[in-house]
A and B are shown apart, each in its own frame.
Chain A
């Protein structure tokens, strides 16, 4: 752990330094060749990192949480559809994986389509799902959650189905000689074996559902959520607002992945140090 801290810190510093240089270069004409001026424009082409940090601080700590100007409010809107979609997607994914492992015909017939559907840009149909749900009278959280779920269920199906098949024939045969039912085999052998594949899938799934929730907020003229915030910022050329929203979105995605990693650690510890 300690051996990684120094290289990462160096890399971060390099990125920051490059960012400042790029900001100075890109904002040069707008600031009329004033080097210090390039760091404090109201609508810079590329804001300097500290400007984004200040904007981020002002729109999180500097606002009431239920205010439309608060990034915390928008992040909470996006986070709720992300989480509902993630839960939905993982549930469907787990169920489908278990069915696929147990029903051979379905596995043969469905799996190629599931794999092929990964090559299809699901995000592109986001606006249509939102519109169709809107026509049904369903607005707000649900359509966004459905898109997030759609994006997050694929990695779970593929990963968990692989994991459920991971036990080798010897172990399966042993349980067979004990006259274990399929449910019992699932509980004591297949499910524990799938853990190793589940967590990487969950990491991909939570990241995907965050992107899904944000994109789902774009085409509908949604008034709240990080996606709406991005869109509003781009309409009015408020670059600082866009970057602050992007920072919040990144924070949201990263903390989602972080929580999954934490769960993984807990499971590893509960199982005596290995997965």
Chain B
């Protein structure tokens, strides 16, 4: 019981300490606002907040994530048919995962305009490679023994995929989703630094920071963090439900 409560206690202690330090040492708000001030900023303007959330999370992030993950998954299914191509593309895709792909944001703005489609495109490009690499690893995770059994039962390629490879790759797909959920949100926020209509969480963070409204910046960061941890938690729950049956 105590062990479960420890992290919560620690979190509460940090919040209290934060509040106390800010009040006692009279720290300027520009440096570090108190948690109460951040909370006040959070509930001060719900309309703007919801608009930002709708733009960045429900449009850029989720749509981009869906496109990127399905794209990577589909590409992996296609390439899995040719071991030769797989050996060629896998190292390239792994390398691409380490590159600063967010940098394509200005190009996406030229192609898709300032609104959310350009951000969704950046998110899709970011999430494509982890999805691709993990799916290939998952499809490949099937043992030779199981493969041979399926072959000896005269299973077709489609049956092999549906009954053996896809179920076996579920844990890998969930791992990719978890990585991508966080990556997508970050990408959507950062892409907005390259130009956006006057709405969005990244836009809000950048403009409020420039105006020195640091309490609003912290409030927005709190919302971003909540979205990130929330989507991660939902995926983890789904994983527990679907991928741990065996």
B178, chain A: closest CB distance, angstroms: 8
| Alpha-carbon gap, A43 to B179, bound state (A) | 35
| Alpha-carbon gap, A234 to B97, bound state (A) | 23
- By the criterion CB–CB under 8 Å, are A119 and B103 in contact? no
- By the criterion CB–CB under 8 Å, are A124 and B189 in contact? yes
Indicate with 1 or 0, residue by residue over A210-245, a CB within 8 angstroms of chain B CB atoms.
Answer: 110011001100000011001101100101001101
- B103 contacts which of A6, A122, A203, A246 (Cβ < 8 Å)? A246
- By the criterion CB–CB under 8 Å, are A108 and B7 in contact? yes
- By the criterion CB–CB under 8 Å, are B92 and A8 in contact? yes
Stretch of A60-68, A69-77, A129-137, A157-165 contacting B (4+ beta carbons < 8 Å): A129-137
- A136 contacts which of B31, B95, B97, B201 (Cβ < 8 Å)? B31
| Complex: chain A residue closest to B189, CB-CB | A124
- By the criterion CB–CB under 8 Å, are B189 and A135 in contact? no
Instruction: Report A-chain residues with C-beta under 8 Å of the C-beta of B107.
Output: 234, 239, 242-243
Using A110-B10, A135-B31 as known contacts, say yes or no to A11 and B186 having CB atoms under 8 A apart: no
Main secondary structure of the interface of A (DSSP, over half): helix
- By the criterion CB–CB under 8 Å, are A113 and B11 in contact? yes
Tell yes or no: A116 within 8 A of B by CB.
yes
| Alpha-carbon gap, A104 to B92, bound state (A) | 41
Using A120-B224, A131-B212, A136-B31 as known contacts, say yes or no to A45 and B110 having CB atoms under 8 A apart: yes
| Alpha-carbon gap, A250 to B85, bound state (A) | 23
- By the criterion CB–CB under 8 Å, are A253 and B99 in contact? yes
Q: Give the interface size bracket for A toward B.
A: 35 or more
Using A119-B182, A124-B186 as known contacts, say yes or no to A234 and B7 having CB atoms under 8 A apart: no
| Alpha-carbon gap, A116 to B229, bound state (A) | 7
| Alpha-carbon gap, A71 to B114, bound state (A) | 27
Instruction: Report A-chain residues with C-beta under 8 Å of the C-beta of B218.
Output: 128
Tell yes or no: B91 within 8 A of A by CB.
yes
Using A123-B190, A131-B212, A215-B190 as known contacts, say yes or no to A253 and B98 having CB atoms under 8 A apart: yes
- By the criterion CB–CB under 8 Å, are A120 and B225 in contact? yes
Instruction: Report B-chain residues with C-beta under 8 Å of the C-beta of A10.
Output: 84-85, 88
Instruction: Report B-chain residues with C-beta under 8 Å of the C-beta of A254.
Output: 95, 98-99
- By the criterion CB–CB under 8 Å, are B214 and A132 in contact? yes
Using A113-B10, A120-B224, A121-B224 as known contacts, say yes or no to A250 and B30 having CB atoms under 8 A apart: no
Using A113-B7, A128-B214, A249-B100 as known contacts, say yes or no to A119 and B232 having CB atoms under 8 A apart: yes
- 12 contacting pairs across A/B (C-beta < 8 A): A6-B88, A8-B88, A11-B88, A113-B7, A124-B224, A127-B217, A210-B100, A218-B194, A231-B106, A234-B106, A249-B100, A249-B103
Across chains A and B, which 9 residue pairs bring their CB atoms closest together, nearest first? A234-B106, A11-B88, A7-B88, A121-B186, A109-B10, A207-B98, A7-B87, A112-B7, A119-B232
Footprint of A on B, CB under 8 Å?
Answer: 3, 6-7, 9-11, 30-32, 84-89, 91-92, 95, 97-100, 102-107, 109-111, 181-182, 185-186, 189-190, 193-195, 201-202, 205-206, 209-210, 212, 214, 217-218, 221, 224-225, 228-229, 232
Footprint of B on A, CB under 8 Å?
Answer: 3-4, 6-12, 14-15, 45, 105, 108-113, 116, 118-128, 130-132, 135-136, 203, 207, 210-211, 214-215, 218-219, 226-227, 230-231, 233-234, 237, 239, 242-243, 245-246, 249-250, 253-254, 257
Known contacts A110-B7, A215-B102, A254-B98; 10 additional CB pairs below 8 A are A11-B88, A45-B111, A109-B6, A119-B182, A121-B228, A124-B224, A127-B205, A211-B102, A231-B106, A249-B100
